Structure 1
Amino acid sequence: MGILYALLIGALAGWLAGKIMKGGGFGLLLNIILGIVGGIVGNWLFGALGVHIGSGIIGHLITGVIGAVVILFIAGLFKK
């Protein structure tokens, strides 16, 4: 059940990050995949910085969105 939860939160985070990064998205499917990876990156990034957003769905979603925005930004640099 934990993997399904992570995939759903990551997919939603990727979709939201695609909306936030106007013009920086790669389409719905790739944004969702990048959102899942972004959730991992967000957890690592906040852990390395010692920042704790919160727990539960909202905390995980915010972490995933921020991580996905970072991934979309970096991927956008290579897109050009």
Structure 2
Amino acid sequence: MHLSNESLLVIIVVGIVAGWLAGNIVRGGGYGLIGDLVVGVIGAFIGDWLLPQLSIHLGTGMVALIVNATLGAIVLLIVLRLISGVGGGGWRGGAGRRW
């Protein structure tokens, strides 16, 4: 697979928007501004792979890309929440500790 600089830039910008949206949708599952942005970029790749595997095609255009990446980021945030075992502890510390 070959990515041009332009398509890589689009993936990063869409991922940043998707990370912000997913952080707001999945309350308690966010990792702060920078963490959500990283999750959004990774979620863009996950959404780009996962949705076609499920035979879900949202169309073309920037809005479809953002929705696709947001869904991937939401999946990633939920998986990270399940792995951490705490509803939002994540990278902020305190994972596994309840007071």
Same fold per superposition (TM over 0.5): yes
Count of aligned pairs: 80
Higher relative contact order (CA 8 A, sep 6+): 1
For structure 1, the 5+ residue unaligned runs are none
For the aligned residue pairs, the C-alpha RMSD in angstroms reads 0.8
Alignment of 1:17 with 2:49, yes or no, is no
Return the structure number with greater helix share. Answer: 1
Task: Report the Cα offset of residue 78 of structure 1.
Answer: 2.2
Relative to the length of structure 2, the TM-score reads 0.77
Tell me which structure has the larger Cα radius of gyration.
2
In the TM superposition, what whole-angstrom CA distance separates every residue of 1:10-30 from its partner, at most 9, and x where no partner exists? 000001000001111011101
Moved over 4 A (4+): none
Equivalent position of 2:53 in the other structure: 48
The answer for unaligned runs of 5 or more in structure 2 is 1-5, 87-99
